[in-house]
Amino acid sequence: MNTGGYRVTGRTFTKTTGAMCLALALSACAGGEEVSRSDANPADIALQSSPALDPGLPGEQTSSLIADLRARRSVLPQGPYTQLATDVLASRTLPAEQELRAARFRAQSASKNWLPSAGPQVNLTSVGSLVTTLFLEQTVLDNGRKKAERAYANAEVEQASVTLVQAANDRVAEALGLTLTAQAAEARASINDAALPKLDRYAYIMDERVRGGISSPVDARIVRDKLAEMTSQRDLDLEGAAAARAELATMTGGQAVALPDLADLPADPAVEPLPILQARAKAALADAEADAGKAGFFPGLSAVASLGSESDAGLTAQMNQNIGFGTRDAMRAIEAEATAARAAVAQTQEDTARRIAALEVERASKLRQLEQARSLAANATETFNTYVTAHREGQRTVREVVTLLEAQVDAARRAAGLRFDVIRTEIDLAALRGTLVDGETL
């Protein structure tokens, strides 16, 4: 419809302005205050070869969140365990790493959204000929929408960076968990191995006593059953250790790493846990999305030019959202979503603090149980030695000695398992804080 020099189409109003079109279409390259924009960096390095965890963002910006992630250091002792972490991360490309690279490409693209855009239009006329027109458009006023789009893309990079660090820490924690499973099983098996010759000797004594008519065959069978049970227990432990090490070999690409027992891991309570950083990144996403959404309710201004058989140019005022009776509530809903994302940060802080407190209490409990188990194991060993001496003097029966030996083995096995349970809890704490992997290696 024509209305005295204005072309009206839906929510778009265009005023013909003649030859000024091309100058306005390229005006953003020369500067200006009306359009939200950022300076593109012509020396952007190739994203494929740059570190995945790079605090640099398009437009010469720096992310403090990513810088914090990159500065984190592993609490694992230098040596075989840091090598294990390197191997399990090098053996497989994490999907989160590719997601981060994709987010960086999107951010790089969004950093240039303030530049003019162009597109062709091909029409078939009534006489069968093709008419091609090239359209150029440059945003002049957008109420901060493109700036919000750039902020959203950068927030995506931050969120993907946290996801990558979490994925890397989870993978290393899984490998360490398999290592602890194997070491704990082997420690329990070695305890059984040390006790089996003693139990086998007492089984032999019982057999001889049965042959001499001194002891009942039932007593001999009980000792033999205990011997078979302890042997089976050891074999199950060794099989479990072998299975865990096979899984670990798969995670490391088949590389065998000699691993000593892992010592206590130091805590680093100063770093902010990863779930909180993830919540902060999501809040930044929601804020940017809200800014872009609210900008759509206000009219923007663009310079448009068409180049072809019939060239034309003009200014276009347009709105991305319709104005209606529900507009005010729609804007309130957008703001409420951003507020909810910010509130989620506080909720995540509380949940994470509770999780850390629970793990610290669990670790303290495991340490207490470990001390008690070691004390009980020492007492059981002392009592067993006393019974062995009494048996030699004829004051204790073989069955009583065997029962004490079984109690001693059970106490030692429990103490051995608790030692690794303590370290497992420390690994969970370090993974939650993102301190199992050096940030600069990602």
Higher pLDDT among residues 410 and 127, named by residue: 410
Q: Given a cut of 60, is residue 158 above it in pLDDT?
A: yes
Q: Give the least confident one: 115-129, 392-406, 409-423.
A: 115-129
- What is the C-alpha to C-alpha distance for residues 320 and 182, in angstroms, rounded to an integer? 60
Nearest to 222 by CA among 401, 442, 36: 401
Q: Given a cut of 60, is residue 44 above it in pLDDT?
A: no
In this prediction, residue 2 carries a pLDDT of: 41
Which range, 11-20, 309-318, 374-383, 392-401, has the best average confidence (pLDDT)?
374-383
User: Vertex 303, ends 297 and 308: CA angle to 5°?
Assistant: 130
Token pair for 293:
């959404």
Q: Which run of H or of E encompasses 92?
A: none
Confidence of residue 25 (pLDDT cuts 50, 70, 90): very low
- The Cβ-side half-sphere exposure at 283, using a 13 Å CA radius, reads 17
The stretch 74-93 carries a mean pLDDT of: 86
Q: Given a cut of 70, is residue 197 above it in pLDDT?
A: yes
- The tens digit of pLDDT for each residue in 62-71 reads 889 999 999 9
Q: Give the least confident one: 176-190, 250-264, 407-421.
A: 250-264
Confidence of residue 146 (pLDDT cuts 50, 70, 90): confident
3-class secondary structure, 116: coil
In this prediction, residue 241 carries a pLDDT of: 93
In this prediction, residue 415 carries a pLDDT of: 94
Contact between 82 and 132 (Cβ < 8 Å): no
Q: How much of the chain is helix, strand and coil, in % rounded to 5?
A: 60, 10, 25
In this prediction, residue 7 carries a pLDDT of: 39
In this prediction, residue 256 carries a pLDDT of: 62
Higher pLDDT among residues 359 and 91, named by residue: 359
Q: Given a cut of 60, is residue 15 above it in pLDDT?
A: no
What is the overall mean pLDDT for the chain? 82
In this prediction, residue 161 carries a pLDDT of: 93
The stretch 422-430 carries a mean pLDDT of: 93
Q: Given a cut of 70, is residue 247 above it in pLDDT?
A: yes
Q: Given a cut of 60, is residue 377 above it in pLDDT?
A: yes
CA distances from 359 to 264, 352, 355, 356, 363 (A): 15, 11, 6, 5, 6
Q: Give the least confident one: 121-130, 201-210, 404-413.
A: 121-130
Higher pLDDT among residues 303 and 283, named by residue: 283
Confidence of residue 408 (pLDDT cuts 50, 70, 90): very high
In this prediction, residue 125 carries a pLDDT of: 63
Q: Given a cut of 90, is residue 60 above it in pLDDT?
A: no
Nearest to 25 by CA among 296, 299, 306, 309: 306
In this prediction, residue 128 carries a pLDDT of: 60
- What is the C-alpha to C-alpha distance for residues 163 and 151, in angstroms, rounded to an integer? 18
**Domains and their CATH numbers in the chain:** 6-36+50-441 (1.20.1600.10)
In this prediction, residue 8 carries a pLDDT of: 36
- What is the C-alpha to C-alpha distance for residues 149 and 222, in angstroms, rounded to an integer? 76
Cα 33 versus chain centre, distance: 41
In this prediction, residue 9 carries a pLDDT of: 37
User: Vertex 341, ends 335 and 343: CA angle to 5°?
Assistant: 100
3-class secondary structure, 15: strand
